[in-house]
Amino acid sequence: MDASPDKIAAAKTKPAGKPIWPKIPAEFVRAMLAGHSALGLAFAALIYLVCFSGSVAVFTQEFTRWERPEGPVLHAVSPSAVDAAVQATLAKNPKAHDLLVRLPTPDHPRLSVHGDDAAGGERTYVADQAGRLVGEAQTPWTEFQTELHTVLHLPRAWGGFVVGLTGVALLSSLVSGVLSHPRVFRDAFAFRWGGSKRLQEADLHNRISVWGLPFHLAVSLTGAFLGLTTIIVGVLALATFKGDASKAYALFRGPTVVDDPRPAAKVIDVGSALADIAARYPDAQPTYIYVEHPGERGQHAIINLATEGRLSRGETVVVDGESRILGEVGYESGSLGFRVLSAMTPLHFGWFGGWPVKIAYFLLGLGLTAVTASGVAIWLARHRDKGRPAPGWERLWTAFAWSQPFAYALSALVSLLSPTPAPVAVWGLATLFACGSAVFGTPRGLSIMLRRISAGLLALTAIAHSASYVSVMADPIGWAIDAALLAAALTLALTTLPRGYLIRR
């Protein structure tokens, strides 16, 4: 039976239910919006650079393999092979103060030993299945992009502080952005197409921000924590150990070994230590070994163990010079605080869950980069609509935003082809060149030019890499990244075509 007209009228006049979100005063929204804009503008360049470099840094392990794809590719090695690689490295560099041994893992199927050389520098040797050293692993571009994201190539203490402060600014911008848009969740799929270009960009800015909000909050919070670790430990030292930072750091290092520089009877046997650890921790896989003061009486090893299925950087086990297990830190077996601390690094970089998680982190990271770029563009467009244009700043911001694909691609190509690569210098000069081009043309023209140059450089990098290693490319990741670079080049080139060009063709 149809409803009567009276019932229909009553339904129409029935008061709406109480909204889910409380009504936010207009003054509060305006204050949040002003704070959001101020934070975004003050840290825009740093946030953009950290977000872009972080997106690339997700594939640090893969780029390490890409730079030296000749292998050998190892999926497992015996404890005796690991010890043989350590002994061979010490034979080359008997005065090495410390050694970092990386064992094969799914992300990095290599056996390598990194340590000091006789000239006071550092070298990384690659070993085969038997532990014989078969070459050196020089990965200047991978090291460049990693250092750019973590410390911006500043002195480590200052660089970490700046990156951590940038993470705090990003986290604050995310929170203030949500509070300044009361309808942001309700309008999560609302777009105003066909109207003002500024409104379209604002909608896209807000939608990407909301869709990736859990990811954005996680990476900004963990990034701020990791970057400000030095300050956090300093505060802990002041509050607990009367300012003695060494005692604060000791909390995270496990059992200590007394430093004794006198020569030892023999060098620590890491193979025996690995065999004992395999028996005590059957479900864990050793990922790296840090050998401190090899050949001295105070020598010892710090072994990292990763357990499959856990969101953790791994447990840390300390072994003395006689290869006896002294104990563990407790990153996986200790208190909740230690387990949370251990989850910070993999959660920040997406180093868990394999390829699907890495690809998701890469795309979400690019989305956060785009949100940063569009936020500044929207602010400039709003001022232009109000009769206060800043064409110089518009051109400069466009040039800076597209300078990074250009600078990264050029630095990778030069590192690949040059016998003495200097990726930091190439990246810096390329960024300055791109920003200097802002004195010419229009924002759209600059954007198209830099995208096309970047596409060409990415394609050249992939072709040059494939040609250089075509006969010795033992690691399939080399071909995979070359194909990804070509796909990225094609995507960038297609974005420069006029709208509807492909449809008309």
pLDDT tens digits, one per residue of 122-137: 899 999 999 999 999 8
CA distance 44 to 316: 38
φ/ψ region of 72 (left if φ > 0, alpha if ψ in -120 to 50, else beta) reads: beta
CA distance 436 to 433: 5
- pLDDT for 364 beyond 80: yes
Mean pLDDT confidence for 220-228: 93
pLDDT the model gives residue 471 = 93
- pLDDT for 15 beyond 80: no
Lowest average pLDDT, out of 68-82, 190-204, 481-495, goes to 190-204
Mean pLDDT confidence for 231-245: 85
pLDDT the model gives residue 427 = 98
CA distance 384 to 461: 39
Q: Which position has the token pair 């910070």? A: 344
Here the tokens at position 452 are: 């096309």
- When pLDDT is cut at 50, 70 and 90, the band that residue 286 belongs to is very high
Tell me which amino acid residue 347 is: L
- When pLDDT is cut at 50, 70 and 90, the band that residue 4 belongs to is very low
Q: 133 - beta bridge partners?
A: 127
- When pLDDT is cut at 50, 70 and 90, the band that residue 386 belongs to is confident
Which range has the top average pLDDT, 41-50, 180-189, 473-482? 473-482
Which range has the top average pLDDT, 97-111, 184-198, 368-382? 97-111
CA distance 51 to 371: 10
CA distance 348 to 217: 10
- pLDDT for 14 beyond 70: no
Q: Between the CA of residue 390 and those of 153, 396, 498, what are the distances in Å? A: 31, 10, 26
- When pLDDT is cut at 50, 70 and 90, the band that residue 504 belongs to is low
Question: Residues 184, 207: contact at Cβ < 8 Å?
Answer: no
Lowest average pLDDT, out of 128-132, 141-145, 157-161, 193-197, goes to 193-197
CA distance 106 to 358: 13
- pLDDT for 31 beyond 80: no
pLDDT the model gives residue 12 = 44
| Nearest residue to 125 (alpha-carbon basis) of 96, 153, 105, 147 | 96
- pLDDT for 101 beyond 80: yes
**Half-sphere exposure for 168 (CA within 13 Å, toward CB):** 11
Return the higher-pLDDT residue of 249 and 418: 418
Would you mind telling me the total number of residues written for the chain in this entry?
A: 505
- pLDDT for 22 beyond 60: no
CA distance 302 to 268: 12
Here the tokens at position 94 are: 């008997």
- pLDDT for 267 beyond 60: yes
Helix (H) or strand (E) holding 327: strand 325-328
Q: Between the CA of residue 208 and those of 42, 175, 237, 347, what are the distances in Å? A: 21, 14, 40, 20
DSSP 46-58: HHHHHHHHHHHHT
- pLDDT for 60 beyond 50: yes
- When pLDDT is cut at 50, 70 and 90, the band that residue 25 belongs to is low
Cis peptide before 72 (omega within 30 of 0): yes
Tell me which amino acid residue 264 is: A
Mean pLDDT confidence for 213-237: 90
| Nearest residue to 51 (alpha-carbon basis) of 367, 451, 454 | 367
- pLDDT for 458 beyond 70: yes
Question: Residues 438, 398: contact at Cβ < 8 Å?
Answer: yes
- pLDDT for 191 beyond 90: no
- Kindly give, in sequence order, each residue whose CB lies less than 8 Å from that of residue 390, ignoring residues fewer than 6 positions away: 380, 383, 384
pLDDT the model gives residue 347 = 95
- Kindly give, in sequence order, each residue whose CB lies less than 8 Å from that of residue 469, ignoring residues fewer than 6 positions away: 69, 70, 478
Distance from chain centroid for Cα 485: 18
- When pLDDT is cut at 50, 70 and 90, the band that residue 195 belongs to is low
pLDDT digits (tens, 9 = 90+) for 145-156: 999 999 999 998
CA distance 474 to 73: 7
Q: Between the CA of residue 129 and those of 69, 80, 90, 102, 461, what are the distances in Å? A: 16, 10, 18, 13, 31
Mean pLDDT confidence for 114-129: 84
CA distance 127 to 83: 11
Q: Is the pTM of this model over 0.75?
A: yes
CA distance 301 to 286: 12
Q: Between the CA of residue 164 and those of 147, 173, 226, 243, 259, what are the distances in Å? A: 14, 14, 7, 22, 33
pLDDT the model gives residue 80 = 96
Share of the chain above pLDDT 70, in %: 86
pLDDT the model gives residue 207 = 80
- When pLDDT is cut at 50, 70 and 90, the band that residue 32 belongs to is low
Share of the chain above pLDDT 90, in %: 64
Mean pLDDT confidence for 3-15: 45
pLDDT the model gives residue 24 = 63
pLDDT the model gives residue 389 = 86
DSSP structural state of residue 447: H
Pairing type for strands 111-116 and 325-328 reads unpaired
Distance from chain centroid for Cα 408: 15
- pLDDT for 26 beyond 90: no
Mean pLDDT confidence for 198-202: 72
Instruction: Give the Cα-Cα-Cα angle 310, 313, 314 (nearest 5 degrees).
Output: 75
Tell me which amino acid residue 396 is: L
Question: Residues 321, 262: contact at Cβ < 8 Å?
Answer: no
Chain mean pLDDT for the chain: 88
- pLDDT for 117 beyond 80: no
pLDDT the model gives residue 237 = 87
